A and B are shown apart, each in its own frame.
Chain A
């Protein structure tokens, strides 16, 4: 249990240079591993998962939620429910579920059994991108929910292997936050198996910096 208590500060240090984003695709190719990290002023998270098939992934999820003063640590399963492949576009529908424990790190309450469920969807062409994610938590001592949507455009169409750039706008809704709805302009860059996102939320004056690595 002591290790779990120390995990929070360690993760927090690791997250300090990062920021948040709507969830990118939570499954990979069969046999692929993915590390996904995101952070904002309200929460920081790290998701490390393995995909046995292109439809499933399972892994560890840890979230330090600054807004609700809790830390969730557990196992997360992601499932690609439906994929629409067309000549010049792809769309996806995912469900997610996590189970573990939540630690209310500031009020001294006991660690509790916790879980969450989520849904995510995206649609993209080589020029346009739209996504949505909603997530609800039951942490035992409290409940939480949030949702985010994105629209993006690629200023140029790169070839396979090029550095790809997307200009995006993310709208977040967190009912418990002091500013429940925020808009974040961001830049998404990806090259090879690395993705980086940098943005800024004017309402909360928070920097955004996310990364994903597949291996």
Chain B
């Protein structure tokens, strides 16, 4: 009985820690760590040619794995490397460096 409680406690603990966000690839069996998706809504991003600045500026950040620009929505989608962080202040700074005005920031974990 004691072992069952320990197992349940361990399972619960695992469920509330960040590593619980990791998933296992059913094909390879390898563990895939959770990645944070940062969405920055900006004003002024109407030109593809000029929005290249976004991919260049964000792409230089060590924490950034991928950058996608949605001109229709005026959004910058940034995928962070596993376990990496990018503060809201840093995102705001990078948006300004790119030449745009930040409206809002949203975060999701994939």
Contact = CB atoms under 8 A, between A and B. Distances in A.
Interface of A: 25, 28-32, 53-54, 83-90, 124-126, 157-162, 164, 190, 192-193, 195, 214
B50 A25 contact: yes
Contacts of B48: 158, 160-162, 164, 190
B99 A83 contact: yes
B99 A54 contact: yes
**Interface range for B:** 20 to 34
A158 B46 CA distance: 11
Contact of B47 (A31, A83, A90): A90
B52 A214 contact: yes
Most chain A CB neighbours (cut-off 10 Å) among B44, B68, B69, B96: B44
Return the 10 tightest CB-CB contacts between A and B, nearest first: A85-B44, A29-B53, A90-B44, A85-B43, A85-B101, A160-B69, A54-B99, A190-B49, A126-B46, A29-B56
B98 interface: yes
Contacts of A214: 49, 52
A136 B36 CA distance: 51
A159 B72 contact: yes
A89 B100 CA distance: 11
B97 A54 contact: yes
